[in-house]
DNA sequence: CGACAATTTCAATGATCGTTGAATCATGGT
DNA sequence: ACCATGATTCAACGATCATTGAAATTGTCG
């Protein structure tokens, strides 16, 4: 009954994001796996955070989601009991033109990066 | 008099380099500064390691050089008492096409990345 | 040889990282 | 109200990180 609304997670202003923080966030195979899986799925903003449990445990996923989110790479939206994760495509591309594409291509091509088969 | 030759530093085979390790190596402002400064200087293989002392102390520089080297990004050649650092351009571009260019552009455009004025 | 210069190595530090498992929180359904 | 579900938070752990300053290394030159 309380009027307390569900707090959406914190997202940095894209101008405040520094290159070194972006690269640090990309410096982990699980996070690269989240990134390539997200990029491979075409229905934006329809991917539940829980879809990634074959990459890591729920609690570890939450940690990695936070890293990506704090680096300005992803956005997380809470809806009911679920959470949806998506790329901050336009903003990020404006801030760092061309970077995300070559990062995704690099990760996509490499077998050391884990993947989610059936997302969504 | 001994026949012991000066050991050149270790460089990984470029095929053994993993994307996550590359990004981890890029996740530091000093190392991004080394990278953009190297990229801005046209005379390849003519840059002394000691040219970067305005970015950090010699001992800290040595640490960061090792990180970049172990990630397959740079090459270090010992010559006499000096050491020369350079990008592993062709190899790296073959392994991760397009990546280095957009990383350098990203770092070059950002004022948070330190720079060396007069290299060489 | 001995002094010097360029650079690395080593030991130590506090901070952050990736991971685990248990506890907590929020929401929706019965 | 209770319970189940989806997900985060917390405390703990060992590992690695960035940094410092002192010591060691390597090569050059007198």
CB contact (8 A) between residue A18 and residue B106? no
CA distance A50 to A42: 17
pLDDT band at A1 (very low <50, low <70, confident <90, very high): very low
Contacts with B17 (C-beta within 8 Å, 6 or more apart), sequence order: B71, B72, B95
Q: Are A100 and B96 in contact (CB under 8 A)?
A: no
Helix (H, G, I), strand (E, B) or coil at B92: helix
Determine the residue among A102, A105, A115 to mutate to test chain B binding: the one whose Cβ has the most chain B Cβ atoms within 10 Å: A102
* pLDDT tens sequence across B59-115: 999 999 999 999 999 999 999 999 999 999 999 999 999 999 999 999 999 999 999
Name the closest nucleotide to A24, judged by C1' and CA: C17
List chain B residues with CB under 8 Å of A32: 19-20, 23
Predicted local confidence at residue A108, as pLDDT = 98
* pLDDT tens sequence across A29-44: 999 999 999 999 978 8
Contacts with B30 (C-beta within 8 Å, 6 or more apart), sequence order: B55, B56, B60, B64, B114
Could you give phi then psi for residue A6, rounded to 5 degrees? -60, 125
What is the mean predicted confidence (pLDDT) over B2-27?
88
Query: How many angstroms from the chain centroid is the CA of residue B81?
Result: 19
Least Cα separation, residue B1 to chain A (angstroms): 45
What pTM was estimated for this model as a whole?
0.95
Kindly state the helix (H) or strand (E) to which residue A14 belongs, with its residue range. none
């Amino acid at each position: 009954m309380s009027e307390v609304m569900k707090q959406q997670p914190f997202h940095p202003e894209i101008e405040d994001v520094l290159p070194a923080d972006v690269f640090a966030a990309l410096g982990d195979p699980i996070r690269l796996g989240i990134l390539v899986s997200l990029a491979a799925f075409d229905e934006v903003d329809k991917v539940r955070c829980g879809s990634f449990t074959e990459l890591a445990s729920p609690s570890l996923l939450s940690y990695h989601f936070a890293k990506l989110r704090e680096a300005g790479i992803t956005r997380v939206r809470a809806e009911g009991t679920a959470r949806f994760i998506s790329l901050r495509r336009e903003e990020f591309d404006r801030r760092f033109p061309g970077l995300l594409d070559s990062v995704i291509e690099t990760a996509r091509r490499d077998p050391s990066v884990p993947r989610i088969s059936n997302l969504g």
